[in-house]
Amino acid sequence: MDKIQLKHCPILKEAVIPLEASKSESNRAIIINALSGNQSEVYNLSNARDTQTMLRLIDSKDETLDVLDAGTTMRFLTAYTAVSNQTKTLTGTERMQERPIKILGKALKQLGSKVKYLNNSGYPPLSVSPIEEQKTGGLEIKGDVSSQYISALLMIAPSLPKGLILNIKGKIGSRPYIQMTLDMMKLFGIHHNWTNNRIEIKAQKYRDYPYVVESDWSGASYWYSFVALADQAKIKLLGLRQKSLQGDIAIVRIMNQLGVMSTFEDDGVVLQKIPHSKEAEFDFSDCPDLAQTVAVVCGIKHIDCRMTGLESLRIKETDRIKALKRELKKFKIKLKETEEGVWEIKSKYEVGHPEVEVETYEDHRMAMAFAPISTHQKITILNPEVVNKSYPSFWEHVSLATDR
C-alpha cells in the first residue's frame, strides 16, 4: 500500500484502543534478559518491527546482524556484542548507515572492544569484537546526542569485570529514558548510584524477574492529538499506568494545556476534551518523540508555541526538523528557528484547506503525527506502512474511532 486516504471526520466515535506495548521497554527487557542468561519471563512484548527485529537477532549465530531501520536495536546490540563471545558485523538500511554511532564505538574501544567501521568512519556497518580485557572502569560521554548510547553502556556495565563509572558531559538529553533503563535494571537486581552527571554501576549479576511491559506512551500521544483536534471525542487507551517508567508520559501534562484531560482508571486512561491555552512553551529535551505530534496540534489549533530541546531530531529516522518544516508548510503552518535552539509555530491554517498528501520520509512518527489532521479535512498519508516500526496496528485502531 503506497498511500492511505483519511476522510474528514470531525466527530470521533467513542472507542477503546488496545495500544501496542512499549517498544522502549520491550527492547531494554530483551537485552537485560539476555545479559541475565535468559532466565526471566518477559510478558507483553511489543509487536513493533524494531522489537521483533531485536528478538530475531539477540540470539542469532549469524556473523552479520541486519537491524534494518531500528536505531535502538543497532545501538543496544552493538554494546551487547562487546560483552558476548562472538565477533559480529552490524548493518542496516541506507538511512541507518547515515546515522552516527561513533560516540558509542569510541566508548567500547576504550573499554577494550575492537570496533572497525567497514565503510564510513563512525557509521554502520561496523564490526564489533568482545572485550577480552577491560582497559578502564571509567568513561566520559556527551549527554546531548543520544540517550541510547548511555543506556546501551549502562545495561552491559554489570557484566564488565570492573563495572563502570560513566561521567556524562554537558546537558543530559532524554533523561527519563536513562532513568527508565536504570529502573528496569534495578528490578532485575542491579544497583546503581547516580549523582549529578556521574553514574556508577559495580560488577554484579542480573537476577530473574517476571517483567510485564506497559503499553506505549509514545503511541498514546497520537490519540491525545486526535482528541485535541476533534470537535467531539472520548477515547479510552488500555494498558497505561499513571506511575510509568516511560518519559513520554509527559504527554499528559503537555496535552492538558492543548485541550485534553486525562482520567486514569484501573485498566488505562480516558481522554476527553477541555479548553486549551492560546500560547504554549515546551522543552522536548526529555521527550523528543513527542515534538512532531505537538507541532501539528499547535499549528492546526492556532496555538502560538515555542519549542526547545529539538537537537536530537536531526539524527532520527529522518531529519525530523526539516521534514516537519516541509509538511507543515503544506498547511500554511510555519516552523521557524527564531534564535539558536528555539523554534516557534505560527499558523495561517484555514477551514476548507484543500486535501494534502503528506510525505513520511520513512519515518513512522511523521505518518502518525499528521494523521489526526483528518479531524479537520481529508488527508492522504504516503507510505503508511512506516507505522510498522513502532505501532503496526495504528491504522486498524484509527478505523475504530473514525470513518476511515
Domain extents in the chain: 3-20+215-401, 23-212
Class of domain 3-20+215-401: alpha beta
Give the pLDDT score at 316: 62
- Which grid coordinates are listed for 251? 504527554
C-alpha to C-alpha distance for 28 and 21, rounded to whole angstroms = 13
User: Same topology for domains 3-20+215-401 and 23-212, yes or no?
Assistant: yes
pLDDT per residue as tens digits for the range 282-341: 999 889 899 999 999 999 999 999 999 888 777 666 688 889 999 999 999 999 989 988
Q: Give me the phi and psi of 232, to 5 degrees please.
A: -150, 130
CB 271 within 8 A of CB 236: yes
| pLDDT tier at 404, thresholds 50, 70, 90 | confident
Q: Name which of 307, 297, 277 is nearest 222 in CA terms.
A: 297
Got the DSSP string for 186-245? Answer: HHTT---EEETTEEEE-S-------EEPPBPHHHHHHHHHHHHHSSB-EEEEET--SS-S
For 42, other C-beta atoms within 10 Å of its C-beta total 18
Q: Give me the phi and psi of 379, to 5 degrees please.
A: -150, 145
Q: What percent of the chain has pLDDT over 90?
A: 88
Answer whether residue 1 shows pLDDT above 80. Answer: no
Strands 115-117 and 126-128: antiparallel
Which of these CATH numbers, 2.60.40.1730, 3.65.10.10, 3.40.50.1820, 3.90.226.10, describes 23-212?
3.65.10.10
pLDDT per residue as tens digits for the range 185-238: 999 999 999 999 999 999 999 999 999 999 999 999 999 999 999 999 999 999
Give the pLDDT score at 321: 87
Average of pLDDT values for 52-77? Answer: 95
Average of pLDDT values for 55-72? Answer: 94
C-alpha to C-alpha distance for 180 and 162, rounded to whole angstroms = 23
CB 258 within 8 A of CB 243: no
Q: Is 286 a catalytic residue?
A: no
Give the pLDDT score at 134: 97
pLDDT per residue as tens digits for the range 302-319: 999 999 988 877 766 668
What average pLDDT is seen over the chain? 95
Catalytic residue of the set 216, 286, 289, 363: 289
Amino acid in the structure at residue 154:
L
More confident position, 299 or 143 = 299
Answer whether residue 90 shows pLDDT above 70. Answer: yes
pLDDT per residue as tens digits for the range 148-168: 999 999 999 999 999 999 999
Q: Which of 63-77, 138-152, 363-377 has the lowest mean pLDDT?
A: 138-152
The DSSP 8-state label assigned to residue 11 in this structure reads: B
Query: The whole model's pTM is what?
Result: 0.89
C-alpha to C-alpha distance for 330 and 324, rounded to whole angstroms = 10
- The DSSP element (H or E) to which 253 belongs, if any, is helix 250-258
Answer whether residue 352 shows pLDDT above 90. Answer: no
